[in-house]
């Protein structure tokens, strides 16, 4: 379990948006791949029962003997649940549909909101030497997402460059504020990243302007473009950086990783 006397470990970032289809999992796996590419060691924690991050990083269902379900509810050790991927420096805690029942099972656990926090701070973590942990959250503000936020240092929000994009953001901000009050007072917003952006589209430009007007420098300068290669890559069970390393999507995620690393000492809201 957690040990408060241990030195600080990796930076833990939850990738969160309660809306589906905004590029959350795509951002998680490609940002992780881009961070690994520049030499950092990265762990992806798949906290979505759909298991798309696991599939997108090439982990077959039959290879997911132990998953985030066991990590949360059976207190399994990290060395038993962490799997290597085909990308050097990038590992994953996979998920399966078993995780879909976790919300119900967590209700009766008095430490239900802190299970992931404690699991990611096991002494076993030290042997891996991770620099970053990215948590791919489910598309809802449920107990799993609350677990992720309490376990994290910060939250990264993918924001789709389409109509109604900003509507759900206020509820997410309220949830972040509530988590600060109830379980993680140091939780910060790492930033908001615009996804599926089309610079030629007036609506995309308007969403970007609204986001920057309302959120200021919380919005990353990097924008993730709407790109066929980004959409195709998951069907080949790989990040776009591997699938088409020179594509606009791959270039954008490398820029996002660079911006994230450069901004790590910057004060966030």
**Where does the pLDDT of residue 117 fall: very low under 50, low under 70, confident under 90, or very high at 90 and above?**
very high
Give the integer Cα–Cα distance in Å for 46 and 137: 7
How is the chain split among helix, strand and coil, in percent rounded to 5?
45, 15, 40
Task: Give pLDDT tens digits for 152-167.
Answer: 999 999 998 877 777 7
pLDDT of 194: 93
Task: Give pLDDT tens digits for 244-267.
Answer: 999 999 999 999 999 999 976 444
Q: Among 77-81, 109-113, 130-134, 139-143, which stretch is predicted with the lowest mean pLDDT?
A: 109-113
Mean pLDDT of 111-132: 92
pLDDT of 267: 44
Q: What is the mean pLDDT of the chain?
A: 90
The pTM for the full model equals 0.92
Give the domains, in start order, of the chain with CATH numbers. 11-261 (3.40.50.300)
Please, which residues have CB within 8 angstroms of residue 154's CB and are 6 or more apart in sequence? 11, 12, 13, 14, 187, 188, 189, 190, 268
């Amino acid at each position: 379990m957690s040990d408060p006397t241990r030195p600080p470990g990796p930076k833990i970032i939850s990738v969160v948006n309660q809306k589906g289809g905004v590029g959350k999992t795509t951002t998680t796996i490609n940002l992780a791949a881009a961070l690994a590419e520049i030499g950092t060691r990265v762990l992806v924690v798949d906290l979505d029962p759909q298991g798309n991050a696991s599939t997108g990083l090439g982990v077959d269902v039959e290879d997911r003997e132990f998953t985030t379900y066991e990590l949360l509810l059976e207190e399994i050790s990290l060395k038993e649940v962490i799997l290597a991927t085909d990308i050097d420096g990038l590992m994953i805690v996979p998920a399966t549909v078993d995780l879909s029942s976790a919300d119900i099972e967590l209700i009766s656990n008095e430490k239900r909101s802190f299970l992931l926090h404690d699991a990611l701070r096991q002494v076993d973590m030290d042997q891996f030497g991770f620099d970053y942990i990215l948590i791919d959250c489910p598309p809802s503000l449920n107990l799993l997402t609350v677990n992720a936020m309490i376990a994290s240092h910060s939250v990264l929000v993918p924001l789709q460059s389409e109509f109604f994009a900003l509507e759900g953001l206020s509820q997410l901000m309220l949830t972040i504020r509530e988590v600060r009050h109830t379980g993680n007072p140091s939780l910060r917003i790492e930033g908001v990243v615009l996804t599926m952006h089309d610079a030629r589209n007036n609506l995309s430009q308007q969403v970007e302007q609204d986001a920057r007007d309302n959120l200021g420098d919380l919005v990353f300068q990097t924008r993730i473009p709407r790109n066929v290669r980004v959409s195709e890559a998951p069907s080949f069970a790989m990040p776009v950086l591997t699938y088409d390393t020179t594509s606009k999507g791959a270039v954008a995620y490398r820029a996002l990783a660079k911006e994230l690393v450069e901004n790590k000492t910057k004060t966030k809201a």
